Structure 1
Amino acid sequence: MKTVSFTQMKNGTKQDYDLLAEAEKPYHGLTADRIFAELRRQGEDTLSGYKITRLEHGLQSATRARREGADIDWIVGALLHDVGDGLAPQNHDRFSAEVIRPFVRDEVAWVVEHHGIFQMIYYAHHYGWDGNARDRFKDHMHFQACADFCERWDQSSFDPDYEYDPLESFEPLVRDVFARKAYDPSVLQTGVSKGLPPLS
């Protein structure tokens, strides 16, 4: 296998970096596989103190999104909104957002990034914290989408009796999203706020 000529990045040549760009393509192509491996790992341990696993929580959230007629970005965002829990439990929301950010609408990445502070409205008072901390974003274009995401799909998805769709049913959607060109402006749609689908 060919390798670069340098031991310090600053000494790399164009040929070195062309080689790396080509060598990284297969790895990038396996991103969805790594996502599924992490989701399956999350199915092996129960959320500490909760009645379900992390995987079940993601599946419930994504199932609710799909059943309400959400588009592919919202469904994948709902499935993966807590994918960062394992490696970044203190800032899982931001970690999870960075996983999906290159491949989904900016609105969805913003909501995933901020859902942690928005969720505080449900429990912060029990710890003496500010449950309205999310109000600092009240003038943001995605505020309502994040509030709705938390209310309709996230906070309600800790139910061991909820009949959710299996992980395999989401696989085509996840693979489609992660097969997109990273940071494609037509996908990111920066400045667009569609919100969640209206409730029927």
Structure 2
Amino acid sequence: MKTVSFTQMKDGTKEDYDLLANAEQPYHALTADRILAELQRQGEDTMTGYKITRMEHGLQSATRALKDGADIDWIVGALLHDIGDGLAPQNHDRFSAEVIRPFVREEVAWVVEHHGIFQMIYYAHHYNWDADARDRFKDHPHFKACSDFCERWDQSSFDPDYPTEPLETFTPMVRQVFARKAYDPAVVREGYAGGLPPAPVQ
């Protein structure tokens, strides 16, 4: 296999960097496969103390989004909102957001990035933490979307008896999203704040 001529990046030539750009294309094309493999790996890990696995939590969150009529960005965001748990448990929300950020609306990435602090409203008081820490974002245009995301799709998705769709339901959506051109302005739609779809009438 052909390799670059340099041992320090500053010494690379245009030919070297063209070689790298061409070599990286197949790797980029397999991003969805790596994401799906990580989800499957999380299916082997029970979340310590919870009734379901990490993958089941993501699948259940995505199933709720799907049943609520959410679009593909929200569904994939719900599916992958905790994908960073394995490598970055202390800041999994930000890690997960960076995984999806190049390929989804800015609104969805922001919600995934901040869902950790928004979730604290449900449990922080048990640790004598600030349950209202999310209020620092109360004037942000995505505040309601993040609050709704946590209430409807995240905090409620730890139920082993919920009729959850299998990974195969979401695999085509993951492939479609990660096949997009990274940071395409037409996808990212910076500044757009559509929020979640209306909650179905019970």
Shift of 1:111: 0.2
Aligned partner letter, 1:113: E
- Aligned partner of 1:36 in structure 2 is 36
2:104 paired with 1:104: yes
Q: Distance in 1 between matches of 2:15 and 2:141?
A: 44
Per the alignment, residue 57 of structure 1 pairs with: 57
**Secondary structure of the equivalent of 2:102?**
coil
Q: Supply the distance in 2 between the matched residues of 1:199 and 1:8 (Cα, whole angstroms).
A: 54
Which contiguous aligned blocks of 4+ residues in structure 1 show a shift greater than 4 angstroms? none
Distance 2:153 2:22 in 1: 39
Cα offset, 1:54, TM superposition? 0.1
Show the counterpart of 2:19.
Answer: 19
Once the two structures are TM-superposed, the CA of residue 199 in structure 1 deviates from its matched residue by 1.6
The equivalent residue for 2:199 is 199
Identity %: 81
Q: How many residues are aligned here?
A: 200
Amino acid at match of 2:60: Q
With normalisation by structure 2, the TM-score equals 0.98
Structure 1 match to 2:166 = 166
Cα distance in 2 for residues equivalent to 1:199 and 1:146: 14
Q: Unpaired segments of 5 or more residues in structure 2?
A: none
CA distance in 2, matches of 1:150, 1:48: 20
Secondary structure of the equivalent of 2:131? Answer: coil
SS of 1:52's equivalent in the other structure is coil
Structure 2: distance between partners of 1:199 and 1:57: 20
Residue 159 of structure 1 aligns with an amino acid whose one-letter code is D
Structure 1 position 135 matched with structure 2 position 152: no
Cα RMSD between the aligned structures?
A: 0.4
Question: When the two structures are superposed, what TM-score results if normalisation uses the length of structure 1?
Answer: 0.99
- For residues 65-76 of structure 1, the aligned pairs below 5 Å read 65-76=65-76
